A and B are shown apart, each in its own frame.
Chain A
Amino acid sequence: MKNKFLPLSIIFIFVIIFIIFYKGLQNTNIYTPEVTANNEIPSFSAKLLYSNKIINSSEIFESNKFYLINIWSSWCVPCKQEHPFLIELKKNKNIEVIGINYKDTQVNANKFLDELGNPYDQIIFDKDGTIGIEWGAFGVPESFLIYNYNIIKKYIGPLNNELINEIKLKIK
């Protein structure tokens, strides 16, 4: 009896391990932390990059419309990478892209846009970075998708093809 008990129990253990591994395979292991991004947009007033005009945030945003706030800077390397994607996104008529030029100089910012093209409908000039702080930005580049005065989603780091497609799906 004892002789049979050992092999059987070992086999039993391995069967259990098999089942657990099998179940483990079905679970996805990509773990995305929950982001509660249903925040209202902050209100601010700031200078525009081109016109030196002071503008209020309530003048920019309208209800029932999609906006993408993009925080960028001419000295930021990843911004250069994401720039073509913004230009690509701009071809879409359902969304307005608003740039926040972060801790930059007017000359450099203009040069950057001359070189790479301007995807922005409006550019807010945030020389000391305070507006970025109000938005709760971690750094540049960072983007916020906005609908109906609410931040639907926050994108930390440069946008890429995948993310642009995701945005396009959302604004359809």
Chain B
Amino acid sequence: MLYSVIGYYSLILGLCFGLILILFSVKNFQNSKFNTKILSFTFLQFFFVVISFLCLVVSFILSDFSNETVFNNSHTTKPLFYKIAGTWGNHEGSLLLWLFVLTLFILIFLLKSKNQPTKYKILTLVFQQIIIIGFFVFLIKTSNPFNFLFPTPEEGLGLNPILQDPALAIHPPILYLGYVGSSIIFSSALAATSLNLITKSWATHIKMWILISWIFLTLGILLGSIWAYYELGWGGFWFWDPVENVSLMPWLALTTLLHCILVLEKKLILTSWVIILSISTFTLSMCGTFLVRSGILNSVHTFANDPERGLFILIFLFSLIFLSLFIFFFFHKSNKDTPTSFFWLSKETSIIINNWFMMYFLSVVLIGTVYPIFLDVLSSQKISVGPPFYHKLIIPFLIPFLLMMAIGPKLKWIKSNLEDKTYLIILLLFSILLSFLIVKNFDTNFLLNTILISSALYLFLITLRDFFIKKYNNLSQNIAHFGFSLLILSIIFNNLFSTEIITNLKVGETFKSETTKIVFEGINQKKEKNYQSIIGNFSIQNSKGKIENMSPELRIYNQPNIVTSEADIKTTLISDTFIVINLVQNQDYFNVRYQVKPFMIWIWISVVLISFGGLISFIKKKYEK
């Protein structure tokens, strides 16, 4: 109770500092002096948000049910780790985490950009404070995490069991670092545009922030995906669920931005691209928050359906969009003196082509996500857009995209001839041949698969070869592209070679197919602190006669009362075996789903590689300084 009071008033203090900061900045902006007080106020604001956040964490640890957020999302029998993770496993707490990261980042930004022009710094701070104040008001007004409950309930309602997973406990903070990092890019791009400061040095400076957000966003999406794979028990890692799309869209925009900023840094072209992408990355993140939190879409992330909240974010989001459109159209002057046309065979052209591909992917995802909302409003029809839509529209375009990724980095700035053409052609032929041999045994969609695999394989081979010849020249890019080719390859192989058996079994029964024998040996029951579990024992014999024991689990959580199925997954470098059981309503049977999924782990590894590429680029930049 004490902590709730402290937490609440810290929030209000933080809001006050936000307002003071804006006033102060405007004053300083006029005489363009950077007062050190600005820095201390920013620090104080951050400090109070930290206090408030810690208060919420402590309330969760102490299971203080006089706090409504704790009451709604915690329970005394929950393990400590999930009590803490429960802090951001709900709407109010996660918004507080947003604020925490927002204030942290602006503080780091101010500390790290001492050499930047004063006016630019102040203006960035002002834009950032507008965002921060917006979130403060949103939090205090519509989703106060410190609401009182009287009389104090004896027991809490508990955290949704599917959220009780280690990957999910760190997924929100990592993802938020990515989202919020994009807010800095947003503010800074707006500031630089209004001051007409879009220069090469600005590009170098903001590139660090783009890299940071990009790395975190990539890892955040990866963690969400891992969680879906291990916890949801559907045997997949990406479902084109609106919520996943919502995190993918800023990622696509940010990735494009990352490539554009490279060009800007070298040649001061594509400035409009950079500004628009900086704006859209953050607005897409905000748009995601809106779609997910307002309850306009139904998903695992919909914490509460509260139209008031939705309305607030909607108005806030569109004010930001209109503000940035205003700044863009009024202040941005495209450089007329630099030539805008360039030779067709150059790095710039390849990056522009890359941009258009990315924009295409982005619009496919965007349309797939919001189209059902539009349709519902305009004609009150309910539809849901599923994977086939995305696959049909994305896969064909992936082929030229992959080829561009392989050849593009080989080109030079301004004008170039392709070097060692023979190698490029030999590798291309080799990859076509290899993929032909791989796909030969599968009669489904022969042509498409061959072309798709060959293009991915081509990128794979070229980047692999580059590791050996172009030593450390552009290691980060090479690693990231290599990771991407590995990702596409693993996804394709995973899709092509996965096998699945779905059957209903009683205890003691055996299922036999040509390749697999599944014996349901028995069930055990176990009582844990906050759930009861039923563990099935299976022994599975594959075609090679190797016997493996697997024990998928059903958990019946006591608070709230929910049954979840925990898949048993055995991971090896070559393939994952995945088994999950579900209760059939008539209970003496269990529904058993057994899958062999090749190259599963490589999907995770390749995404880690991709972000590792970003990390190397980041470290290299630091080192150069």
Contacts and interface: CB of A to CB of B under 8 A. Distances in A.
What range describes how many residues of B lie at the interface? 20 to 34
Secondary structure call for the B interface: mixed
Contact of B373 (A24, A75, A139): A24
Interface string B287-299: 0001000111110
A77 B322 contact: no
Contacts of B305: 28-30
B443 interface: no
Nearest to B584: A139
Contact of B377 (A6, A24, A160): A24
Contacts of B307: 25-26
Interface residues of A, number: 30
Interface in A23-60: 23-31
Contact of B561 (A81, A103, A140): A81
A24 B556 CA distance: 36
A79 to B, nearest CB: 9
A138 B314 contact: no
A78 B376 CA distance: 36
Given A20-B377, A24-B296, A25-B296, A139 B310 contact: no
Interface of A: 6-7, 10-11, 14, 18, 20-31, 73, 75-78, 81, 103, 129, 138-140, 160
A73 B311 contact: no
Interface of B: 290, 294-298, 305, 307, 310-311, 314, 318, 321-322, 325, 329, 373-374, 376-378, 380, 382, 534, 556, 561, 563, 583-588
B589 to A, nearest CB: 10
A110 to B, nearest CB: 19
A77 B587 CA distance: 9
Nearest to B294: A25
Nearest to B302: A29
Contacts of A29: 295-298, 305, 376
A140 B587 contact: yes
Given A29-B295, A138-B585, A139-B587, A24 B325 contact: no
Given A18-B314, A25-B310, 7 more contacts: A10-B325, A14-B322, A24-B377, A27-B380, A77-B534, A77-B583, A81-B561
B382 A21 contact: no
A10 B276 CA distance: 13
Contacts of A129: 586
A27 B376 contact: yes
A31 B380 CA distance: 12
A20 B373 contact: yes
A6 to B, nearest CB: 8
Contact of B311 (A25, A75, A140, A160): A25
Contacts of B373: 20-21, 24
A20 B374 CA distance: 6
B123 to A, nearest CB: 21
A158 to B, nearest CB: 8
B526 to A, nearest CB: 14
Contacts of A25: 294, 296, 307, 310-311, 314
Contacts of B587: 73, 75-76, 139-140
Contacts of B311: 22, 25
A141 B382 CA distance: 31
